[in-house]
Amino acid sequence: MTYMAASLMCGDQLHIGDELDKLEKANCDLLHLDVMDGIYVNNLALGPEWIDAVKKTTTIPIDIHLATIDPIKYIDMFAPLQPEFLSFHVEEARNVAETIAKIKSYGIKPSIALNPETPLSAIMPFLDDVEMVLMMTVNPGFSGQKFNKKVLKKIEELSELLLGQAHRPLIEVDGNIKSETIEWMNHAQPDIFVLGTSALFHENDNESYGTRMSKLRQQIERYKA
């Protein structure tokens, strides 16, 4: 099954309530929420109080991405919000197994994230312990970056590796996801596509969010057939 996640930091921040209403009507599967500390990436975004207010306003499950240093500290800060998934960067975890265990202790599905230049070998020992792998197709921090085509081979390799495995974590892709880049991934077949400014939150036409998501779902289902 294919899931669509909306990167809420790309939405209209002055009208988040309206954005959430439109996403619910569009049958959005997940809200992707980037937490950025201004240290690991050169941007700041989405504190726990803001996310708590979002969660109280919608029934869409929450997918929190910690683009931070010292993820253990931020797990304690954001886990009480009980997201569906909580991702941390393998590049910044001092002890990956301990970080995964910490997330699980809150009853949350752990997800491990890796940047475009990080090799798959960095996460291989932990695939049986996580419920999702977040493959960044851009460096985290800012929307609108160019899709890194080098990641395509890595996504395909991970997808092939997980075929037939007793435990198969979902593969989520994030970074300039749109019709064109989805087409490039037709052999990799990720499970979750994070949609931001390129595919969802733009004003280039009068289409509803539901129409935009539906077109992308149909495109993905064609190559999965």
The string of DSSP letters for 150-209 reads HHHHHHHHHHHHHTT-SS--EEEEESS-SHHHHHHTTTT--SEEEE-TTTTS--SSS--H
Instruction: Say which of 12, 18, 29, 34 is annotated catalytic.
Output: 34
Instruction: Say which of 29, 129, 174, 205 is annotated catalytic.
Output: 174
Q: How far apart are CA 68 and CA 65, in angstroms?
A: 9
Other Cβ atoms within 10 Å of 221 Cβ, number: 11
Element (H, E) at 134: strand 132-136
SS3 112: strand
Told to judge if 63 belongs to the known catalytic residues of this protein, a careful annotator would answer: no
pLDDT tens series, the chain, 225 aa: 889 999 999 999 999 999 999 999 999 999 999 999 999 988 899 999 999 999 999 999 999 999 999 999 999 999 999 999 999 999 999 999 999 999 999 999 999 999 999 999 999 999 999 999 999 999 886 666 688 999 999 999 999 999 888 999 999 999 899 999 999 998 888 999 999 998 999 877 889 999 999 999 999 888 776
Told to judge if 18 belongs to the known catalytic residues of this protein, a careful annotator would answer: no
Other Cβ atoms within 10 Å of 214 Cβ, number: 15
Element (H, E) at 89: strand 85-89
Q: How far apart are CA 163 and CA 34, in angstroms?
A: 29
